Amino acid sequence: MKKDFKFTTLSNNLIRGTIFYNSNPENLPAIFIIHGFKGFKDWGYVPFFAQELADNGFFVVTFNFSHNGIGEDPFNFTELEKFANNTISLEVSELKELVDFYKNGGFGFDGKNNFVGLIGHSRGGAIALIYVSESIQENQSVNALALWGTIATFERYTKHQVKLWKEQGYLEVTNSRTNQVLRLNRTLLDDYEANKDRFNLLKCISKITIPTLIVHGDQDLTVPLTEAYQLYNASNKNNTELIVIPSAGHTFNIVHPYEGSNPQFEQVKAKTIDFFLKHLIKN
């Protein structure tokens, strides 16, 4: 079964999402799929993989962060001002609110005692890392974490770009898929600079004690494989596994619109499903 939902955050921001499940969701462990920068819940493989997870006995939540640029049109960036004003802090808070929403019966059933897993791709993995590392101090609400092509640092801009960003108040980036020029306002840069210690991803992963799977393509040109090794080296080796996928790029050779799977992505799916079956299904 597949159902769309809308959720309004405490800051009055709208999150659009879709849930997938094949049996009574009250008895299923949940998996949240977290998109990255310029990503969205209906990109490429996401709906198809979500259904495959549901077929394997999970309650799956896909969603768009409120400021990811996607509005009523599920495939095109139409909310450009929101995209420009997005921040790391906002996405971490929205992930927390959405997991709490699930735990507190927001989907029509009590999910308090259910196991929860997260899959974060690229920057989405970084958002998951921050959230999980901070939830340790409170009530650990996540039981397993998968990081796909995840960044090891938010410092991805040259000194010249940062200088220009500060001087003109924005930086422009191009969406290679649509050729749209998207603006990033200073809100993103200011948020990072005010929270550098909090957003230190190597420090975040070093705090995590739940099972963690790092999956990375060895031909990733967007997030170099060295960043996967940095995350792994900073992690607790007793609960972390690193899988390198040969001949795979940043999206594991999947394109949008979705044109079907490939051997590299089949490896990613198999490793990830086995990981969550092991750590989220109660025996």
The pLDDT > 90 percentage for the chain reads 94
DSSP code per residue over 56-99 = TT-EEEEEE-TTSSB-SSSSSB--HHHHHT--HHHHHHHHHHHH
CB 99 within 8 A of CB 116: yes
At 177 the pLDDT is: 81
Residue position matching structure tokens 């025996």: 283
CB 146 within 8 A of CB 156: no
Read off the pLDDT of residues 199-247 as tens digits, 9 standing for 90 and up.
999 999 999 999 999 999 999 999 999 999 999 999 999 999 999 999 9
Amino acid at 70: I
Domain boundaries, the chain: 2-155+197-280
Token readout for 196 is 């550098």
CA distance 1 to 123: 28
The whole-chain average pLDDT of the chain stands at: 96
**Domain 2-155+197-280, what architecture?**
3-Layer(aba) Sandwich (3.40)
pTM given for the model: 0.98
